[in-house]
Amino acid sequence: MATMNVMDAVVKVMEDEGVEVAFGVPGAAILPLYKAMSASGEIRHYSVRHEEGGTHAADGYTRVTGKVGINIGTSGPAGTNMITGLYTCQADSIPQICITGQAPTTVLHKEAFQAVDIVEIAKPVTKWAVQVKEPAQLVWTFREAFRIAQEGRPGPVLIDLPLDVQKSDIEVDFDPERGGRLSFQKPAANPNAIRQALEMILAAERPILMPGGGVNISDAADDLVELAEYLQVPVSPTYMGKGVINEDHALHVGTVGLQTQQRYANQALLESDLVVGVGNRWAERHTGDLDVYRGERKFVHIDIEPQQIGRVFRPDLGIVSDAKFALESMNSLVKDMTDQREPGEWVERVGELRSTMLRKMDFDDVPVKPQRVFKEMNEFFDEDTTFVTAIGLYQIFSGQFQKTYKPKHYLCCGQAGPLGWEVPACIGAKLGRPESTVVAVVGDYSFQFLMEELAVACQYKVPYVIVMINNAYMGLIRQSELNYDMNYAVDIGYEGPDSEYGIDNVKIMEATGAIGRRVKNPDEIQDALAWAVETSESEQVPVLVEVMAERETNAAMGLSIDKINEYEPIIDGVKEGAGHIVGGVPERD
């Protein structure tokens, strides 16, 4: 009987699983797979400049499309370079399959070139890591990988392929539809538990719905808003839940937390008597001091992962369920339990907090204060814009001041927080949502971590806008050091092309084929944004708006949500977000 290379069968499986986009870096130990992919008419491959960049690009693609991301690399350092991306996907419940080449099985024990036990290295940051030593197992290993990545709480998988296994042949009559995809289940809520949760909401005087990233992942935003409007319950999304409800909606409370938060949201939580978390984690930067956060209020926690319930604190009611299934059940049952409600005193109180406990944004200072940058962005970009940001002081300002209106239109690597994430993640986001303007919000330090991926966007004509808040300083570290009486923050400015701001980021853009403009005055920001959007689309490249920011502006943050409100500084008679709290001690610029 005629035979075919087993990698041809693997590619057919990937096509059958719906793979349309793959990222990666070709290398000697993975070339059989690349040869098979070259014959595919369905999978488009994008060669990245770094394997970590490939994982983040696939991550961004998955966050906007819901499809399993694919990243490919050779043996040895290719796999170790993927670890940060795998960890990011595991932390944020993003389904991704990373495929690595490996030295032949006959020399794995002989310290072969670039042979490392990547399976053992990857196990702590994946749902499943496996090396395939038997060619006949490859087809079903890939089927299982797609199932595991998507079942329950989604997450990443790593498949390691020794070179000799990739070169093997199988019988030519392989048909991917014979056997087909493996089915997978997401848990549905116990009906009695749903009834109990609704009874607690109906009995509460000041309840809050708190959707997390799980609501975005399960496409349950409409169900969440339907429940909130029927019962007139205010909604406070977690940071990873941004976008599940339009931030101009009357029931939007804002985000609670120590860093990415609004003062009115923290105050609303402190006044609440019931919090219903849906697909959230109760992360430490959200809760802070648990005694303050929990207070006397009750908690319901709905999550797809049983081990997540009670991990941070024990709720009064725990419900294991996919977020969409739970919310659909609540919407169905609540209509038998009560008539649709009208806004009451609690909704009015939330509206009062939102209109009074605001932070100042309209600064005219030069260098520009970060708050002003987000004011201009909020006014310029429309509801269809997709924002991408990573970690740092600029991201904290983004969480405090930047508005979001639609699900999956604000992307952030929430728990892992790898610097540089947004530059490649924008590539994946734009490929997955080409009709949307994609905007990266970056700091100068984060930008430099993976700036080589700009060349990928230029090569493949993937346009997006980068808004850089450049203070030439590790601002978040500097702010933290105020509590430690030391100064190890890296001063990125040096005697170079610009003695105040160091690296010329506009020239970096130009060196890769991209385009940039530097802005020094707040009145110039909107014109620069308009130029960037038009230029990125017309030239089909990334375009940078580099805003020269005040070096030592601080963000309001602290150890406890009540202390942030209590110690918010007053400057010129106006409460504003340039101050911060370190260890409960008020500080000023």
Pairwise CA distance, residues 106 & 285, whole Å:
48
The pLDDT score that the predictor gives to residue 92 is 96
The pLDDT score that the predictor gives to residue 10 is 96
User: Left (φ > 0), alpha (ψ -120 to 50) or beta: where does 85 sit?
Assistant: alpha
Tell me the three state secondary structure of residue 496.
coil
Find the helix or strand (DSSP H, E) in which 374 lies. Answer: helix 370-380
Pairwise CA distance, residues 136 & 416, whole Å:
36
Catalogue the long-range contacts made by 397-400 (C-beta closer than 8 Å, 24 or more residues apart): 397/370, 397/371, 397/373, 397/469, 397/555, 397/577, 398/260, 398/374, 398/441, 399/239, 399/242, 399/255, 399/257, 399/259, 399/260, 399/261, 400/259, 400/260, 400/261, 400/262, 400/359, 400/555, 400/556, 400/577
pLDDT > 80? residue 351: yes
CA 183: distance to chain centroid?
27
Pairwise CA distance, residues 217 & 285, whole Å:
21
Output the CA–CA distances (angstroms, integers) from residue 479 to 447, 469, 564, 571, in the order listed: 20, 16, 15, 19
Nearest to 428, CA basis, from 43, 19, 59, 14: 59
Instruction: Please say whether the beta carbons of 17 and 68 come within 8 A.
Output: yes
Looking at per-residue pLDDT, the higher value among 106 and 226 belongs to 226
Which range has the worst mean pLDDT, 10-14, 265-269, 433-437, 488-492? 488-492
Average pLDDT along the chain: 90
Domain annotation for the chain: domains and CATH numbers:
3-171 (3.40.50.970), 191-356 (3.40.50.1220), 370-548 (3.40.50.970), 559-589 (no CATH)
Place of tokens 């219903």: 276
Q: Give phi and psi for 544, each to the nearest 5.
A: -105, 135
The pLDDT score that the predictor gives to residue 175 is 80
Average pLDDT over residues 450-454: 96
The pLDDT score that the predictor gives to residue 485 is 65
> Rounded to a whole number, what is the distance in angstroms from the first to the last CA of the chain?
77
Give the tens place of pLDDT for each residue, 175-219.
Answer: 877 888 999 989 999 999 999 999 999 999 999 999 999 999 999
pLDDT > 90? residue 401: yes
Instruction: Identify the sign of the CA torsion 253, 553, 453, 163.
Output: negative
Neighbours of 5 (CB within 10 A): 19
The pLDDT score that the predictor gives to residue 495 is 46
Pairwise CA distance, residues 179 & 187, whole Å:
24
Give the tens place of pLDDT for each residue, 567-582.
Answer: 444 333 334 443 333 3
Place of tokens 């079903």: 140
Model confidence band, residue 500 (pLDDT cutoffs 50, 70, 90): low
What string of DSSP letters covers 338-356? -PPPPP-HHHHHHHHHHHH
Model confidence band, residue 280 (pLDDT cutoffs 50, 70, 90): very high
